[in-house]
Amino acid sequence: MNRKWIVLGTVAAVVVAFAAGMVVFTSRSNQEVKQAVQKNSDALVRPHSPIFGNPAAKVTIVEFFDPSCETCRAFYPIVKRMVNASFGQVRLVVRYAPLHHGSDTAVKILEAARQQGKYWEALERAMATQPQWAAHDRPQPEMIWDFIGDLGLDMAKAKADSSGPAIDQLLRQDIADMRALKVDRTPGFFVNGTPLREFGEAPLKALVEQELKKAGAP
């Protein structure tokens, strides 16, 4: 047989094997996450979790979120639009998955702002300025203090709260829940407890619509 065709055949076989392996891996990963949710359903939402939208909404999007994650930044306005367009039928619950270096500090700053009723304003600023403070080779999350300095916060109190035990315990709980639910990348989405199998805006919208139908939402 011509050597060229042997090489091409070998390459094709490797590509097919790789694709098949990815399907098996994805299927296995999805199954592991489903099992984790079944065993740890209370790990999806905690009383301390920030909520955007109607607290009594029929459909809950749980997002495991890393303030330093570029994809989280890209999805932030998308998810907000979905909630705002749902006429109170969908809510967002934010959980933290600080997988990047420095993200734990960013989370603590956001939570300190939340203690003074400025969480969403602080989050908007952190997302808008993420390219400036979240460089992965040299993150500087402390810069967020400067970006939220005009929100009317008692900055001395906020900085003290950010290093206090209450926020530290909240963050530890979210990290423990992230691990229990097998979340290893961000953003990690669950809709009414169902993990998002195929990542992307369209699959997320489809899953939300599916859950709205199940819930009998108009």
Q: Find the mean pLDDT for residues 90-95.
A: 98
Residue 28, pLDDT score: 44
Return the higher-pLDDT residue of 214 and 17.
214
Q: Find the mean pLDDT for residues 20-47.
A: 66
Report which secondary-structure segment, H or E, holds 147: helix 144-147
Q: Is the model's pLDDT at 24 over the cut of 50?
A: no
CB 181 within 8 A of CB 34: no
Q: Is the model's pLDDT at 213 over the cut of 70?
A: yes
Q: Is the model's pLDDT at 7 over the cut of 60?
A: no
Q: Find the mean pLDDT for residues 198-215.
A: 94
Residue 151, pLDDT score: 98
Q: Find the mean pLDDT for residues 68-85.
A: 96
Q: What is the pLDDT of residues 110-119, one digit of tens each?
A: 999 999 999 9
Per-residue pLDDT band at 3 (split at 50, 70, 90): low
The size of the chain, in residues, is 218
- Of 24-33, 57-66, 92-101, 185-194, the range with the lowest mean pLDDT is 24-33
Q: Is the model's pLDDT at 95 over the cut of 90?
A: yes
Percentage, residues of the chain above pLDDT 70: 85
Q: What is the pLDDT of residues 190-199, one digit of tens each?
A: 999 999 988 8
Sheet of strand 188-191: strand arrangement: 51-53, 90-96, 59-65, 188-191, 194-195
Helix (H, G, I), strand (E, B) or coil at 28: helix
Residue 127 CB contacts under 8 Å (≥ 6 apart), including other chains: 67, 73, 76
- Of 2-6, 68-72, 119-123, 164-168, the range with the lowest mean pLDDT is 2-6
The pair of structure tokens assigned to 199 is 């990542």
Report which secondary-structure segment, H or E, holds 4: helix 3-39
Q: Average pLDDT over the chain, rounded to whole? A: 87
Read off the pTM. Answer: 0.83
- Of 40-44, 64-68, 110-114, 189-193, the range with the lowest mean pLDDT is 40-44
